Amino acid sequence: MKQQNMSEYLNEVKTLVDKIAATRANINKEDIILYSLNGLPPAYQSFKSTIRTMVQPISLDDLYAFLIIEEINLNAEAARQYNPSYQNTALCSNRGRGRRGRGRFSYQNVQSNNQQPQQCQICNKKGHSANNYWHIFNINYIPS
């Protein structure tokens, strides 16, 4: 699986299996699975170990589906490692409270260019938006 994506690799395996089947040779499903796993790059090592140690044998359709999913997961992980700002934003979240208490006006939202302050679309109060509304996830809250 040199510079191929998973679909191309699996099509290559299928083509090879079809050529062998055309000679009327007996092909064991486990051999196809092992051949498919052995052709994977080192990034798939934990995936290969998981498949090889399964108690129940896996079907080829399930293996192919899991390989596609694993490729998607590995690509997403590589993108996260490539983009360091993505990791930093996951650790930084503004919970909206700070030291100012519950649901009070936040001076961070005041704009210095004399524009009207934001008005909440939920409670219609000025000074915050619906994104910063304290009771947004409180299902028991009844707005007045």
Distance (Å, whole) CA 101 – CA 119: 19
Distance (Å, whole) CA 1 – CA 38: 10
pTM of the predicted model, to two decimals?
0.55
CA–CA distance from 87 to each of 26, 75, 79, 81 (Å)? 50, 15, 10, 8
What's the one-letter identity of residue 98?
G
Distance of CA 51 to the CA centre of its chain: 21
Place of tokens 């690799």: 9
Give the pLDDT confidence of 10-20 residue by residue, as tens digits. Answer: 999 999 999 99
DSSP state of 106: P
Highest-pLDDT range among 56-60, 83-87, 99-103, 122-126: 56-60
Domain parsing of the chain, residue ranges: 6-89
Give the pLDDT confidence of 96-130 residue by residue, as tens digits. Answer: 555 555 555 444 544 455 567 777 777 777 777 76
Distance (Å, whole) CA 93 – CA 84: 16
Instruction: Say if residues 109 and 128 touch (Cβ distance below 8 Å).
Output: yes
